[in-house]
């Protein structure tokens, strides 16, 4: 089934020049986090002045602005959607949490337009962090959904006890 994208978003994507900006809202969940980490690729509000922090409001939550780029998840046939989030490595302590992660990280991505923050253009939920690396300039995190082809089929044996209708 094709994804429905608003007319404004389609015009902005296809226009040679526009003032409408797509914003990727990222919600990262991990067992060590009390509340999910909410990050945005654009900012519209000032969250605090000391320290100076900007953010983006969506659905009653404030997403903190961070220098991040995201490749939109692909919709390839017969494969799970995958994407890469690339965080700018601007401080020395950005790699330490990535090194400490042993449990899986779960990520929700929501794509909205900056001028209509409550209209969701696309949403990808329960993506799993599959690989993270780092270098001097960036910290990329590869995320993907568990492919449906990894589900065992059939899940159980076709016996009289489990499937009595087959043996009449």
List the domain range (segments joined by +) for residue 76: 7-148
In a domain, 167, yes or no: no
Q: SS3 sequence, 107-167?
A: EEEEEEECCEEEEEEEEEEEEEEEEECCCCCEEEEEEECCCHHHCCCCCCCCCCCCCHHHC
pLDDT band at residue 75 using 50, 70 and 90 as cut-offs: low
Residue 144 lies in a domain: yes
Q: What is the total count of domains within the chain?
A: 1
CA distance 12 to 147: 31
CA proximity to 110, closest of 31, 56, 146: 56
Between 111 and 77, the more confident residue is: 111
Reported as a single tens digit per residue, the pLDDT across 108-150 is: 888 898 888 888 888 888 888 777 777 777 777 888 876 656 6
Does 83 reside within a domain?
A: yes
Q: Supply the pLDDT for residue 135.
A: 75
Domain-embedded: residue 168? no
pLDDT digits (tens, 9 = 90+) for 9-58: 777 778 888 888 888 898 988 888 788 888 888 888 888 888 888 889 99
- The DSSP symbol for 103 reads S
Query: Which uninterrupted H or E stretch holds 13?
Result: helix 7-14
pLDDT at 1 over 50: no
pTM, rounded to two decimals: 0.73
Task: Kindly state whether residue 163 falls inside one of the protein's structural domains.
Answer: no
pLDDT of residue 147: 60
Distance CA 109, CA 153 (A): 29
pLDDT of residue 156: 67
Predicted local confidence at residue 16, as pLDDT: 84
Residue 166 is assigned to a structural domain of this protein: no
């Amino acid at each position: 089934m094709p994804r429905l994208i608003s007319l404004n978003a389609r015009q902005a994507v296809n226009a040679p020049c526009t003032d409408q900006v797509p914003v990727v809202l990222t919600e990262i969940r991990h067992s060590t986090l009390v509340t999910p980490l909410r990050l945005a690729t654009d900012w519209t509000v000032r969250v605090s002045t000391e320290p100076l922090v900007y953010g983006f409001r969506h659905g009653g939550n404030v997403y903190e602005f961070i220098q991040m780029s995201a490749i939109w998840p692909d919709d390839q046939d017969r494969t799970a959607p995958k994407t890469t989030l690339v965080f700018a490595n601007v401080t020395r302590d950005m790699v330490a949490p990535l090194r400490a992660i042993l449990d899986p990280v779960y990520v929700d991505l929501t794509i909205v337009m900056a001028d209509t923050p409550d209209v969701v253009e696309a949403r990808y939920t329960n993506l799993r962090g599959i690989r993270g690396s780092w270098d001097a300039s960036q910290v990329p995190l590869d995320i993907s959904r568990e492919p449906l082809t990894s589900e065992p089929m059939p899940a159980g044996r076709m016996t009289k006890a489990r499937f009595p209708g087959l043996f009449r």
